[in-house]
Amino acid sequence: MKLSTGGGQGYTDKQGKHYTEMIVPVDNDDEDEGDFWRRFKEQKSKKKKKNVESSLSVLQKRGINYKTLSERSRHYRIGDWNFWPSTGKFHNQKTGVKGRGVFNLIKKL
């Protein structure tokens, strides 16, 4: 089984998460399904690392201070907001407001 990045607009899974890049299997007798999922996991991990770097760079460029709560889980605090840049999720501790995306978080600050 071989991995290929699918083109197009992406897709939305059953939980409502939208993916802009798709990984689709391409028939190849040299790889099995386990190889496919290992590669999928590797690509997902790389994407999350890229998200962290990008989000923290945006915050730094805008002069927004943040506190690292957990380096392992990539959990940060910005004022009353908890932020996980690997997924883009944020949550206000006091109001319970939740959202996604570093730019949406910046709008709420």
Q: Identify the helix (H) or strand (E) that includes residue 50.
A: helix 33-61
Pairwise CA distance, residues 76 & 43, whole Å: 23
Q: How many domains does the chain have?
A: 1
Provide mean pLDDT across the span 61-72: 93
* Domain span including residue 84: 2-108
The mean of the pLDDT values for the chain is 83
> Worst-scoring range by mean pLDDT, 12-16, 23-27, 86-90?
23-27
Closest by CA position to 105, among listed 88, 96, 16: 88
Q: How confident is the model at residue 72 (pLDDT cuts 50, 70, 90)?
A: confident
Pairwise CA distance, residues 103 & 2, whole Å: 35
Q: Quick check: 48 and 42 in contact, CB under 8 A?
A: no
Residue 45 pLDDT > 50: yes
Pairwise CA distance, residues 105 & 67, whole Å: 15
Q: How confident is the model at residue 34 (pLDDT cuts 50, 70, 90)?
A: confident
